[in-house]
Structure 1
Amino acid sequence: MSASGKEDTRPRTLVVHHRSGIGDLVWHIPYLRAIAAGSAGGRIGVMARPSSRAAEVLAAETCVAEVIEYDHRPRASEKRKGRHDGLLAQFGFIRDLRAHHYEQVYIFSGRARYAALALLAGIPRRAGFGFTLAERLLLTQPPFIRPYEGPGNWVFPEATAFSVAQGLVDGPVVPRMAVLPEALSRAEADLAGFPQPRLAFSIGTSEPRKHWGGANFAALATRLLEQGAGVILLGGPAEAGVAAEIASAVPAALRSGLLVSAQPSVQRSAALLRQCQFCLGNDTGVLNMAVANGVPSLGLFGATPPLAHDPLLHALVGEGMAAIAVDQVLRRLVELHAPGVAAP
């Protein structure tokens, strides 16, 4: 039943998110909300890879009823076998998915595999990108889209094109992320008295080639701390080592203005970002979460094309990450009027 007491005839909906990264999932949030608006109870299920940290990224999204992990072929960097690798595991996953009794699925992917899983799980209405004939034969809800061939990253443009084609939105929607109230309250309390303005450093990366380097981050942090700013190093447990390297390279007299947060909670990181006035760093999840939480940011793009999905996200491009100098970053921060940053 709906809130009005009338029977809710909207379909039970599953959304399949194929991409591996946290930032990729953040880009899809507005389209998840749009799908949920036309689904039973105004809520959806989301099927996603473990590396996207969907349960945490979407923890404050009231439109998400459940997250189903699909652990198939993890990234090579994870050096492990997925729980759903192998034929028997695939059939087990299909059996479990069938028990949810979904009536329609939106597949944010051009892979025929997901359409096949949905068909075998008994989901009658199936929409996907339709990049291949094999996928189109398994889908029931055209229109289909074509692969993105423009400049920059393709993930957000393809998600947008699919959502527009399916009548969910009229055009691109800038991603914004919800954060749990308790996480926000804790971050505010923990940073009471911490120096302002505060700049967050996105120090994590899924690939070494995208990393600016601990020595560069330490040099920049030192310059900003000398100017009186507070600096927060943000990453996951995998960044604990580089965070310690950065902190140890900062002069001891300045370390009271430096906070290290290399921990597993996505909501904690998002809440800390809400307490910052600017973010900068590697092309990774924290950078994308920053702008999705309304924090102006500067991404360092020496190994990947610059992102252009959000007007709050600015780019500094180099021929390789090593080509981006600390003074270049400082000058760009001044150009962007980053609070508390003086010219080198």
Structure 2
Amino acid sequence: MSHRILVVRLSSLGDVILTGPVYKNLKAHWPDCRVCALVKPQFAAVLKGHPGVDEVIAYRGLADALARIRAGRFTHLLDLHATLRSWLIRRLSGIPEQSVYRKDALARRLFVAFGVASPSLQRHAVDRYLEALAVWGVPAPMRALSPADWGARADAPSPRRVVVLQTSFLGDSLLTLPLLRRLKESLPGATLAVLTLPKHAEVFRGNAWVDEVLLDDKRGEHAGLAGLWRIARRLKRRSFDLAVIPHRSLRSTLLAWLAGVPRRVGFSSSAGSFLLTDRVPFSWLAHDLERNLALARPLGAASAPARDEERYIEPSSLGCELSRLLAEKDLSSTDRLVGVHPGAAWSTKRWLPERFAELCRRLARAGFKPVLVGGPADAPLGAEIARASGAADLTGKTSLEDLKSLMGRFSLFVTNDSGPMHLAAAAGVPVVAAFGATTRELGFFPYGAAHRVVEAELSCRPCGLHGARACPQGHFLCMRLVTVDLVWDACRAALGAGTAK
């Protein structure tokens, strides 16, 4: 008789997602086993299509669950919930082989209430889940959590007209490009349009993976409900049969629905997830680039990152105007340039100006020529740093297309957590990024092994997904503790790991 295994996890979306490696290891050890997951009804769709899960039971009360469990004739029960409710299921199920994961609930309560640390708290939940397999002699070599674990819909026709909705920040737009590449490769006969903000259109125009760029002027023509309806009608006239929505806003999902797009793929954590036809689990454990790639999975495409996934922008040659501007700043083709971007959308994401100035002076003494870059809003900050350091100041003088071209000249890029950080990483320039209000764990760090993030370990970080206008604690230690020495050491390490130009 083959193994019939019931896995119980009656908790939140994140906890259910973290069970993914458990199913993979069970299937690897017992290829013929049948695995069933017992989860809350609202999370049942998350596991449907997972290659390691054969059946999903939605928990609708103890009596109903026990009736279905007994009918399933399970041989093994793996309790990854470890509460009174799951204890009752174990006791009343009659399943002979059982294993329970160690929740370490007491250690967590002692830490929260009294600050008492315990080594058990340093272990990730995935590691504790996999330890429970040892009782049955199941090895657990596969521990990585991958968005590729969630399956595709086999019943859907191949789309011909696709629109990707990305109307968020510059960094979000850049991190959508690998998804566009994956969609274009997996849907070779389809036309691919992108809906974006006017100020980010340059990210997508001229791109080999994009056939059309559409503009959503959310602060102008398409503002408010009337504007939303106006842009929805424009999209509807194009008869798209698939919308892929990496932007997790209600407006984006509502727009695709109002436009009559029959298939709408987005994240389960989207504010408009109830309007989606395909919901892909969203994990904070993955980089945003990899999270976006997971949106290709319901279309039958591979969603795991390729070996060279971090390179997806090829810097163009310098135009006449940009070459003239560099010559005015006494920057020649033989100079070793370092791009320095001191700006960010939120003040709590900006490293201190005087420290940027000192870093520029050190770079100059080391034989590099620091070049300050940024948009018009960064111009006063750039002028201040240039006066204090002697760095060449191009802030407010270049377009996004110019910045892409400059990446071909930079040996290094020093920045805050910002859109240009992702542009540099995508172009293969070694990046050193100072992180303050935000953290790597949010999934927006520079993608690739050659890059460095410099940050201070503080319990108050992160103070928000995008940062804040002022430090909520009033001390701004997250940036004040990032010293010039720390960033300078990271620069030297990044230059050693990357390819100097």
Fold conserved between structures, TM > 0.5: yes
2:283 alignment partner, one of 148, 160, 171: 148
Give the SS at the match of 1:105.
strand
Q: Classify 1:260/1:86 alpha carbon distance in 2 versus 1 (closer, same or farther; 3 Å).
A: closer
Give the SS at the match of 1:235.
coil
**Per-residue CA distance 1:297-332 (angstroms, 9 max, x = gap):** 111112211326322321111251121111221122
Deviation at 1:92, TM superposition (A): 1.4
- Partner residue, 1:231: 370
Supply the distance in 2 between the matched residues of 1:166 and 1:311 (Cα, whole angstroms). Answer: 29
Which amino acid in 2 is paired with 1:290? A
Deviation at 1:23, TM superposition (A): 1.5
Deviation at 1:236, TM superposition (A): 0.8
Supply the distance in 1 between the matched residues of 2:454 and 2:347 (Cα, whole angstroms). Answer: 18
What stretches of structure 2 of length at least 5 have no aligned partner? 1-157, 457-476
**What is the TM-score normalised by the length of structure 1?**
0.79
Deviation at 1:284, TM superposition (A): 0.7
Supply the distance in 1 between the matched residues of 2:222 and 2:169 (Cα, whole angstroms). Answer: 18
- Partner residue, 2:489: 331
Q: Classify 1:85/1:98 alpha carbon distance in 2 versus 1 (closer, same or farther; 3 Å).
A: same
Q: Classify 1:64/1:294 alpha carbon distance in 2 versus 1 (closer, same or farther; 3 Å).
A: same
Which amino acid in 1 is paired with 2:280? I
Q: Classify 1:301/1:15 alpha carbon distance in 2 versus 1 (closer, same or farther; 3 Å).
A: same
Give the SS at the match of 1:119.
helix
- Partner residue, 2:16: none
Give the SS at the match of 1:63.
coil
Aligned residue runs from structure 1 range 192-211, under 5 A = 193=332, 196-211=335-350
Contact 2:315/2:406 (CA < 8 Å) preserved in 1?
Answer: no
Contact 2:268/2:282 (CA < 8 Å) preserved in 1?
Answer: no
- The percentage of counterpart residues that share the same residue type is 26
2:411 alignment partner, one of 252, 272, 277: 277
Give the SS at the match of 1:64.
coil
Supply the distance in 1 between the matched residues of 2:215 and 2:245 (Cα, whole angstroms). Answer: 15
Supply the distance in 2 between the matched residues of 1:166 and 1:43 (Cα, whole angstroms). Answer: 15
Which amino acid in 2 is paired with 1:22? L
Q: Classify 1:116/1:229 alpha carbon distance in 2 versus 1 (closer, same or farther; 3 Å).
A: closer
Deviation at 1:336, TM superposition (A): 3.3
**What is the TM-score normalised by the length of structure 2?**
0.56
Q: Classify 1:10/1:95 alpha carbon distance in 2 versus 1 (closer, same or farther; 3 Å).
A: closer
- Partner residue, 1:21: 169
- Partner residue, 1:32: 180
Number of equivalenced pairs: 310
Which amino acid in 2 is paired with 1:45? A
By relative contact order (CA 8 Å, sep 6+), the higher-ranking structure is 1
Contact 1:278/1:338 (CA < 8 Å) preserved in 2?
Answer: no
Aligned residue runs from structure 1 range 235-250, under 5 A = 235-250=374-389
Deviation at 1:186, TM superposition (A): 6.4
Please state if 1:44 is matched with 2:204. Answer: no
Q: Classify 1:261/1:171 alpha carbon distance in 2 versus 1 (closer, same or farther; 3 Å).
A: same
Please state if 1:172 is matched with 2:321. Answer: no
Supply the distance in 1 between the matched residues of 2:316 and 2:271 (Cα, whole angstroms). Answer: 46
Deviation at 1:149, TM superposition (A): 3.6
What stretches of structure 1 of length at least 5 have no aligned partner? 1-8, 73-80, 340-344
Q: Classify 1:101/1:175 alpha carbon distance in 2 versus 1 (closer, same or farther; 3 Å).
A: farther
Please state if 1:163 is matched with 2:283. Answer: no
Supply the distance in 2 between the matched residues of 1:334 and 1:180 (Cα, whole angstroms). Answer: 23
Supply the distance in 2 between the matched residues of 1:149 and 1:180 (Cα, whole angstroms). Answer: 30
Give the SS at the match of 1:71.
coil
